[in-house]
Structures are given as C-alpha cells and as structure tokens.
Amino acid sequence: MSLKQSDRLKLLKVTKDVHLLDKIALILSIWFGIGLLPGIPGTLGTIGAIPLYLLMDLLDPGYQALFLLIAISGAIWSSQRAGRILAKVDSRQIVIDEVAGFLLTIIFLPLTWLNLIAGFFLFRFFDILKPPPIKKIEQKVRGGFGVVFDDLVAGVYAHLSLRLLLHMLT
C-alpha cells in the first residue's frame, strides 16, 4: 500500500511545524525518506539497513554491540517522537524499527552474500509472520519501545535461525 498524496502533504506540513529535535526524529524514523516510498515500507526499510551492516562489519565485536545499542536507542527515541508528532504510534512510514531488527539479525556475523541474503529473508519472514510472542508483544507494549521491541524479537528469531542454518551448512 502506498502513501497517499494527502498523507505526504500532511507529513510535509507536520515537519514545518515542529522543533529541530522532532524533525531529526522524523527523518530517522522514516529512515531518511525510505518509509515514504510507495509499496512495502518495512521491506524497503530493511534494505535501507544494509549500509549500516556494511559499516558495522568494519568494527570489532565490542564496538558492533555498542553500535547496535546506539541504533536501538535511536530507533526507540525517534519512533516515540515520530508517533507523537504523526498522532499514530506505529505508522507504516516509521521503518527505523526494521533497521534495528535487521542489525540485530546480522550482528557478529561476517559479511558474506549468504549472511546478507539469508538474514534479510529470515528477518522479513519473522517480522511479517510475527510468531509467538511477537504478536502479543506488539499488542501489549506501547510507545517507541513497543514499535521497536517486536522487531527486535523478530531479529533474535532470525539471528538464531541464521546461526542454525550456517551450522547445518558447515
């Protein structure tokens, strides 16, 4: 489902009427505009996380963990603010939660085509399917934390599945 023209105009109007920190939160939450693209914003948001994966792969494991914690914190903060500004807690345009979930999926794994592609599809599978307890978490946990947390659980499922897949292939 694409973002309607009236929704785009509403988002543009909202950004004119907010403070700098709110503008930053909106830009981050829609992942620099990716969430505004028509079609499948969650999948596009996950694709938008790939440059961060490339950057994260250059770091030692301890710095990867710190990088992920900063990304998760930024996702919670920006989702919370954007939800308040847009008057919708988990708007389809907010895709930074997919970014955080995908980073959790591939953390501590070497950069390979297999890891990238399998991690992408596994994360999207769990994010869309929402197996227990993801669906319950999404319904019970509110605010920016709730927006991000269900994607983090999907990321954990995808990470563990990817590790199992890699183990079976070796």
Helices H / strands E in the chain, number of each: 9, 0
Residues 6+ apart with CB under 8 A from 145: 76, 80
For position 2, what pLDDT does the model report? 47
With 90 as the cut, is the pLDDT of residue 7 above it?
Answer: no
Alpha-carbon gap, residue 102 to 156, rounded angstroms: 9
- Where residue 155 falls among pLDDT bands split at 50, 70, 90? very high
For position 140, what pLDDT does the model report? 82
Break the chain down into helix, strand, coil percent, rounded to 5: 75, 0, 25
Residue type, 25: A
Work out the percent of the chain whose per-residue pLDDT is above 70.
90
Residue numbers of the domain that contains 33: 5-169
Alpha-carbon gap, residue 89 to 61, rounded angstroms: 33
Closest CA to 30 of 73, 103, 86: 86
Q: Are 90 and 45 in contact (CB under 8 A)?
A: no
Alpha-carbon gap, residue 63 to 57, rounded angstroms: 10
What would the mean pLDDT of 101-130 be, rounded to a whole number? Answer: 97
For position 52, what pLDDT does the model report? 95
The tally of domains found in the chain comes to 1
For 32-71, the pLDDT digits (tens) are 999 999 899 999 999 999 999 999 999 999 999 999 999 9
